[in-house]
Amino acid sequence: MEFKDYYQILGVERDADQDEIKRAYRKLARKFHPDVSKETDAEARFKELGEAYEVLKDPEKRAAYDHLGANWQAGQDFRPPPDWDAGFEFSGGGFTSADSAAYSDFFESLFGRGFSGGGFQRAGAHQYRARGEDHHARILIDLEDALEGRTRPITLQVPEIDDHGRVRTRARTLNVRIPQGVTAGQKIRLAGQGAPGIGDAPAGDLYLEIDFRPHPRYRVDGRDLLADLPIAPWEAALGARVKVGTPGGTVELTVPENSRSGQKLRLKGRGLAGKNPGDLYMVLQIVVPPANTDEMSALYREMAEMSDFDPRAGVRG
Amino acid sequence: MSRKDVFEAELLDDNGAMTLAELARRCATDAEWLLQLVNEGILVPRGRALPEWRFSHTSIWRVRRVQRLQVDLGVNLAGAALALEMLDELESLRRRLASLESGRETGAES
């Protein structure tokens, strides 16, 4: 396993006092808290911070950790020396939060055993019944899953306690029918798919927060969808009937005369379904044909000569 | 598990109807602490008096987020209330931004 330099993780010197350690932790914790940060490695960074702080804020654990010596480098292959913790007394307190599942093997090898009888008990062996815990997760789905109410496999990493009391994660795949019309930020519930109950008590539920993968064509705004509709300058100027693919199938749209780029055409009720179904907006994008033939160049020159159109009328300084 | 098993998911909206006790159980906390969240305006139940109070399903996420902010960052309830407001706004802005950014290139090319 790799040696972890808890001082480096918190960005403090080895002789930092407890207040400095607390300040450093608080500052970094705010920055990398998964509720706040959307950086992809925020969760991993936050767990690492929590682990480092768990050790360094506790004078007993910190003393034991310091006893390993200052010569270890982060990432270096590490085995705890035999009886490394002899002479250190751990008064318990143990894991402070449910995140203990996230602590590294390195942490476990140093402090795991000392606390196995402490605050981290599982109730499994006892003779009582209790409803299973609810589980929470966030999942990424495709827009089509929500538009059509598709069934799709969802894989979750489930922490489990093995026979030796160690925490392992296991991949669990469920086929879930996505409720039609669900949108980003909404939550769904799978009854009975949380942690199993103890005794004959019912299992907990599984709560999933929905987010969409970016879609190549549609942008999602609440229940509304937006898509660009490219049109030719003459379609914009003269008006046109154009065929457009939509999630519900191809539709024919009327582009009004003298349309502008950025103008939106609304297709009512063709967004995400629901009690108040969203709309689909086609955003007009005028695409200018290149002057790549003599005829096209001649046409553009003719327009330039006969038109007094000034595209910069509003931006003269 | 058989890959054929299909689990029906229930869409949770703001119309859920959990009692204070149910919400406390779902969040593994006590009703007294939830009362403080109501007093702080973090949770807004429907119904007038406590026995009639009903909480939306989305309350669960607010409570859990407050729990995390308290445990992980040591913020008090007023601070957590402010953080929740700002995080809500931040998330909605992030979504709008992502929505504005996605699809643009493809749309412009076609």
Domain range for A30: 6-119
Say if B84 falls within a structural domain.
yes
Question: A70 with A110, same domain?
Answer: yes
Give the model confidence (pLDDT) of B20-59 as tens digits. Answer: 999 998 898 999 999 999 999 999 999 888 888 999 988 9
Tell me how many domains chain A contains. Answer: 3
If asked whether residues A18 and A101 sit together in one domain, one would say: yes
**Quick check: pTM over 0.90?**
no
> Are the Cβ atoms of B72 and A50 closer than 8 angstroms?
yes
Averaged pLDDT, A17-37 = 89
Min distance B106 CA to chain A CA atoms (Å): 6
Q: Does residue A204 fall inside a structural domain?
A: yes
Question: Which residue of chain B has the CA closest to A282?
Answer: B107
Counting the structural domains of chain B, the total is 1
- pLDDT at position A3 is 85
B14: contact with A, CB 8 A cutoff:
no
Is A167 part of a structural domain of the chain? Answer: yes
Residues A168, A202 within the same domain? yes
- Residue B87 has φ and ψ, to the nearest 5°, of -70, -40
Instruction: Give me the long-range contacts of B66-73 (CB less than 8 A, separation at least 24).
Output: B66/B37, B66/B42, B67/B27, B67/B29, B68/A33, B68/A35, B69/A33, B69/A35, B71/A96, B71/A97, B72/A29, B72/A33, B72/A46, B72/A50, B72/A97, B73/A26, B73/A29, B73/A30, B73/A33
Q: State mean pLDDT over A242-259.
A: 93
Question: What is the C-alpha to C-alpha distance for residues A200 and A178, in angstroms, rounded to an integer?
Answer: 29
Contact A188 B5 (CB under 8 A): no
The verdict on A151 and A109 lying in the same domain is no
* A317 has pLDDT over 80: no
B49 close to A (CB below 8 A): no
Least CB–CB distance from A178: residue in B9, B61, B100: B9
Residue B71 near chain A (CB below 8 Å): yes
AA letter at A170: R
Nearest to A115 by CA among A85, A95, A88: A95
Are B4 and A230 a contacting pair at CB < 8 A?
Answer: no
Percent of chain A with pLDDT over 70: 86
Q: Which of A96, A228, A286 to mutate to test the interface with B (most CBs of B within 10 A)?
A: A228
Q: Is residue A125 part of a domain?
A: no
A193 falls within a domain:
yes
Among A148, A180, A212, where does a domain finish?
A212
Residues A115, A147 within the same domain: no
User: How many residues does this entry show for chain B?
Assistant: 110
Q: Do residues A115 and A153 both lie within one domain?
A: no
Residue A255 to residue B51: CA distance in whole angstroms: 56
> pLDDT averaged over chain A?
84
Which of A219, A231, A280, A282 to mutate to probe the B interface, most B CBs <10 Å?
Answer: A219
The tokens for A261 are 């780029």
Lowest mean pLDDT among A129-138, A254-263, B27-36: A129-138
CATH of the domain at A112: 1.10.287.110
| Minimum distance, in Å, between the CA of residue B39 and any CA atom of chain A | 23
Q: What is the CATH number of the domain that holds B42?
A: 1.10.1660.10
Q: Where are the alpha helices (DSSP H) in B1-110?
A: 20-26, 31-39, 59-68, 77-101, 104-109
**If pLDDT is split at 50, 70 and 90, which confidence band does B4 have?**
low
CB contact under 8 A, A175 and B94: no
